[in-house]
Amino acid sequence: MSNPKTVLVVSAHAADFVWRAGGAIALYASRGYRVRILCLSFGERGESQGAWKVPGMTVERVKEIRRAESTRAAGILGAEIRFFDSGDYPIVPSQQTIDAMVDEFRELQPEFVLTHSFLDPYNPDHPTANNLTLQTRVYAQALGYPSKVGKPINAPPVFLFEPHQPEQCEWKPQVLLNVTPVWETKNASMESMEAQKHLWEYYTDLGRRRGAQAVRNGAPRDVKYAEAFQRVYPQTTSELD
């Protein structure tokens, strides 16, 4: 395919895209889409518990470990990944990062965008990623925003993937995506994130629960695993279905 359709994923930390959207990434990659992940942080301070238990560990070594894990996971899912190294606890995006993300939007012209929830009292870096994604999406639409890459984008829908504590994040599952056909791929990507082994079982169980909910909401009975998303903007349609 010379010019495949594209999907853009903005992940606050090195593993967020794996737990929360690995199924969606693998599914669309299997359909021939170009999927590109923008990783704002390696999660070197707050999301690398396993690595910090090793005696003599350093920040730079943690970054190397997380880069390797995330690169391997993205490859398993069939996606590209770009790292910005914008710090961790807190993530602090620079103007250069903002401009680079606008360029990414304009070059990719994504069919849709995946990122974090608006709120997360357990991890303020996640709302930072959400805000940065929505900001740069708007900037990428503006004719007057300086960029030498591509043309202004239209209005790709944005879907917020499920936070770890959805109730506290005021997040609602509005879309249940069947990821059963690619579950083994997602599982392999999760197992590549060895610094957070404690999350493997949690997100496997969550996938099963969302799959059961999908069936209860009309999906075929052979759906076993699903991922949940919340829309930011209204769906535009000529039919209600």
Mean pLDDT of the chain: 94
Q: Is pLDDT above 60 for 1?
A: no
**Residue 112 to residue 158: CA distance in whole angstroms:** 6
**69 falls within a domain:** yes
Selection from 204, 207, 225, 196 nearest residue 15 by Cα:
196
**237 falls within a domain:** no
Specify the long-range contacts of residues 94-99, CB closer than 8 Å, at least 24 apart: 97/40, 97/132, 98/132, 98/135, 98/136, 98/139, 99/146, 99/147
What pLDDT does 23 receive?
98
Collapsing DSSP to helix, strand or coil, 167 comes out as coil
Q: Is pLDDT above 90 for 133?
A: yes
Q: Which of 42-46, 175-179, 198-202, 235-239 has the lowest mean pLDDT?
A: 42-46
What pLDDT does 45 receive?
78
What are 173's two structure tokens?
């599952």
What pLDDT does 189 receive?
97
What pLDDT does 59 receive?
83
Looking up tokens 């930072």 gives 128
What pLDDT does 52 receive?
65
Q: Is pLDDT above 90 for 225?
A: yes
**13 falls within a domain:** yes
Which residues are within 8 A (CB) of 241 and not within 5 positions of it... i.e. 6 or more apart?
none
85: domain CATH number is 3.40.50.10320
Within 13 Å of residue 184, how many CA atoms lie on the same side as its CB? 1
Looking at the chain, the whole-number percentage of residues with pLDDT higher than 70 is 97
What are 127's two structure tokens?
């709302």
What are 194's two structure tokens?
């060895």
**33 falls within a domain:** yes
Number of Cβ within a 10 Å radius of residue 143: 6
Number of residues assigned to the chain: 241
Q: Which of 16-30, 77-91, 168-182, 190-204 has the lowest mean pLDDT?
A: 190-204
What pLDDT does 181 receive?
98
Q: How many domains does the chain have?
A: 1
What pLDDT does 241 receive?
77
Average pLDDT over every residue of 111-139? 97
Q: Which of 4-18, 49-63, 113-127 has the lowest mean pLDDT?
A: 49-63
What pLDDT does 58 receive?
85
Summarize pLDDT for 8-41 with one digit per residue, the tens.
Answer: 999 999 999 999 999 999 999 999 999 999 999 9
Beta strand 158-161 with 175-178 is: unpaired
Expressed as residue numbers, the domain containing 149 is: 6-231
Q: Which of 40-54, 136-150, 216-230 has the lowest mean pLDDT?
A: 40-54
**1 falls within a domain:** no
Summarize pLDDT for 142-166 with one digit per residue, the tens.
Answer: 999 998 888 999 999 999 999 999 9
Selection from 112, 83, 128 nearest residue 9 by Cα:
112
Amino acid residing at 222:
D
**236 falls within a domain:** no
**71 falls within a domain:** yes
